[in-house]
Structure 1
Amino acid sequence: MVMQTEARVGVSSGHGVASSSHRLTQDQRSHIESASQLLAGGLAGAFSKTCTAPLSRLTILFQVQGMHSDAGALRKASILHEASRILNEEGLKAFWKGNLVTIAHRLPYSSVNFYAYEHYKKFMYMVTGMENHKASISSNLFVHFVAGGLAGITAASATYPLDLVRTRLAAQTKVIYYTGIWHTLRTISTDEGILGLYKGLGTTLVGVGPSIAISFSVYESLRSYWRSTRPHDSPIMVSLACGSLSGIASSTATFPLDLVRRRKQLEGIGGREVVYKTGLLGTLKRIVQTEGARGLYRGILPEYYKVVPGVGICFMTYETLKLYFKDLSSKL
């Protein structure tokens, strides 16, 4: 409507050329805004993952311990012991093992995730008729939850093979079966077929949907409440704090599903025995039977250590870059 009004004013005042130029500029701004959202989301995800890569690897190693370990070995496991083992046996760089593929996965994943969330959110507000009205807290929470869930499912589906590769590279310790991203993709395709690249996708989507839904809805709700009660606090610090809390909430709620996802992704490596031959519920039941209820949260401590700074950094970086790109585009 604003564009059309400005165009009519331009024509009536004899500035048709200027008006046409303005319409072109508006179209360009729309493309720049979309590109900025994608870039901000991708860089935020890659940066936060690189910062927390050591803890991410520790989480994965703890999650898969129960697949081929006896009860005695599991009782001896500790974060400090595992970190010392990696440092002594594999060196400092090993804490970032698989980080290249993590970035290769996280850049498109985070880009799609944030971009899809913004658009699903706009769509939900439009469909529910809340776009031009002041919505209640519960209505906003519903929109953020659904939009976040759909965004997580979209992003996970689009980038899943890279997530599988990342898990297998990070889980390697003494025996090196995969040597890099392309080698891993080729080996999985050869040994397990093309569908092997999507092993564990169903469990992933069951976990990722609620996880991202909780993360976005908790983040948006906390940030909205914080800004309404303390409007003068730094937006960057507010995003960092609210992002960290949202990460704790989503991880606690969906960690058992993430644990099953990791173990499913590692089934059949190098011809090893398939441990879990049932679906999600059957796998959860077997873990409880063999490792106890605590087995469902194996690796939750390094996960918290990773999530608190990781999700906070991700949201903070995204919001900061979004404001930077918005300010940059306004000067063009």
Structure 2
Amino acid sequence: MSGGVVPLKDEGSPSQVAIAGAVAGLVSRFVIAPLDVIKIRLQLQVHSLSDPLSVRGITGPVYKGTIGTLKKILRDEGITGLWKGNIPAEAMYLAYGSFQFSAYKYSCHLLDSLPPPYTLPSSAVSFISGAAAGACATTATYPLDLLRTRFAAQGRERVYTSIVHSIQNIAAHEGPGGFFRGLGAGVSQIVPYMGLFFTSYESLKPVMAHSVIPLPFGTSDAAAGVVASVLSKTAVYPLDTIRKRLQVQGPTRSKYVHGNIPEYRGVLSTLALIWAREGTRGLYRGLSVSLLKAAPASAVTMWTYEQVLAVMQATEDQPGDD
């Protein structure tokens, strides 16, 4: 790429954006898969070692902290336990990355083409486009997200023996709606998250590109991605916890590694129940590992996206053989 900083929304053709987004999603998922499993296990835990009354009669594991959860999963389930749900997650990230970047680019161009006096400032274009891209990608890939959560929630005793079995079981016992449990929380979370993320990223990228201070993660793309992700993730984290709790509802709820997951119905009622029974801490359970996951995930995603796009553009610009 040239010395100047080109906004993300102005880079690449639609096909290049889709390919770069898909590759970025795959690479990012592979890197952060173990942290994702740890986060989901913590989010589904409704009890804590600091509350002795809550652990009476509990037969499932009690996790405490990121390192403690990591050790317990390795001890009880082996190293493969850290990659549970990775197959549907890889498929989700592949599709999500492609949908996300394509929808973002399309939305940006659409909003930039608005005639005066309807022209929007750049920050508003980034926010609206990021929110729209996140909503579209989340809805399109949500069944895969739900499968990822359910497989990650399985302990040594399997609820589903394979991807095919899980699809058949959900379709037979929960119907089509079973694949979209918690979608309301997912969209409610992703709209502000992606809006804030892309707005922060577009704003931080040119600033960090000209920073005189050595940047973490090597490049302005990665550093901007990390900061934008941490800020956005913290703001909307309770909705992510609600989504995870809703995704494991249904006839198999008591069969996951946490056998005491309460029955929840709807985003607002789930929020109220978690607040009443577990307090603020319950809504933010697993936030530390989520931020630990979000930083490298966003850094790897944005860095990979920019690098793949640059390679494709460079290859396209090369003159053909005479």
Counterpart of 1:78 in structure 2 is 65
Per-residue CA deviations over 1:161-197 (Å, capped at 9, x if unaligned) read: 1111111011111321112222211111111111111
SS of the residue 1:261 aligns to: helix
Q: From the superposition, tell whether residues 130 and 165 of structure 1 become closer, same or farther in structure 2 (CA, over 3 Å).
A: farther
1:52 aligned counterpart, secondary structure: helix
**Secondary structure of 1:178's match?**
coil
TM-score (norm: length of structure 1): 0.82
Secondary structure of the residue aligned to 1:242 is helix
Equivalent residue number for residue 116 of structure 1: 103
For each residue in 1:274-308, what CA deviation from the matched residue of structure 2 results, as whole angstroms up to 9, or x when unmatched? Answer: 83444322211211111111111000011011011
Distance 1:99 1:271, change over 3 A: closer
Q: Which has the higher helix share?
A: 1
1:265 aligns with 2:252: no
Q: Which amino acid aligns with 1:80?
A: I
Greater Cα shift, 263-272 or 103-112: 263-272
From 180, 190, 207, give the equivalent of 1:208: 190
1:254 aligns with 2:227: no
In structure 2, what is the equivalent of residue 105 of structure 1? Answer: 92
- Aligned amino acid, residue 116 of structure 1: A
Structure 2 Cα separation of the partners of residues 274 and 63 of structure 1: 11
**Map of 2:221 onto structure 1:** 239
* Cross-structure match for 1:310: 297
Deviation (angstroms), 1:242:
0.5
Hey, what's the Cα distance between the residues in 1 that align with 2:179 and 2:50? Answer: 29
> Number of residue pairs matched?
296
For each residue in 1:21-68, what CA deviation from the matched residue of structure 2 results, as whole angstroms up to 9, or x when unmatched? xxxxxxxxxxx9322211110110110111011111100000001189
Give, in whole Å, the separation in 1 of the partners of 2:107 and 2:294.
24
1:80-229 superposed matches below 5 A = 80-127=67-114, 129=116, 139-227=121-209
Assess if the C-alpha contact under 8 Å between 2:21 and 2:101 holds in 1: yes
The aligned amino acid for 2:18 is L
CA distance in 1, matches of 2:207, 2:137: 28
Residue range with higher mean Cα deviation, 233-242 or 181-190: 233-242
Are the structure 2 counterparts of residues 235 and 329 from structure 1 closer, same or farther at C-alpha, using a change threshold of 3 Å?
A: farther
Residue from 315, 319, 322 that aligns with 2:309: 322
For residues 127 and 67 of structure 1, what CA distance do their matches in structure 2 show?
51
Deviation at 1:76, TM superposition (A): 6.2
Structure ID, larger Rg: 1
Task: Select the residue among 34, 51, 58 that pairs with 2:38.
Answer: 58
Secondary structure of residue in 1 paired with 2:76: helix
Matching residue of 1:3: none
1:122 aligned partner, one-letter code: H
Q: Check the 8 A contact 1:268/1:274 in 2, yes or no.
A: no
Deviates more, 1:56-65 or 1:88-97: 88-97
Q: Post-superposition shift, 1:231? A: 12
Q: Which residue of 2 aligns with 1:18?
A: none
Residues 304, 186 of structure 1: alpha-carbon distance in 2 compared, 3 angstrom cutoff = same
For residues 162 and 257 of structure 1, what CA distance do their matches in structure 2 show?
18
- Whether contact under 8 Å (1:38, 1:115) holds in the other structure is yes
Counterpart of 2:268 in 1: which secondary structure? Answer: helix
Partners in 1 of 2:76 and 2:212 — Cα distance? 49
User: What amino acid does structure 2 have at the position aligned with 1:214?
Assistant: L
Contact 1:227 / 1:233 at 8 angstroms: preserved in 2?
Answer: no
Code of the aligned partner of 1:218: S
* Structure 1 residues 234 and 294, CA gap change in structure 2 (3 angstroms): closer
Q: Identity over the aligned pairs, expressed in percent? A: 31
Normalising by structure 2, what TM-score?
A: 0.84
When residues 70 and 167 of structure 1 are mapped into structure 2, their CA distance, relative to the original with a 3 A threshold, is farther
Moved more, 60-69 or 45-54: 60-69
Q: Secondary structure at the match of 1:298?
A: coil
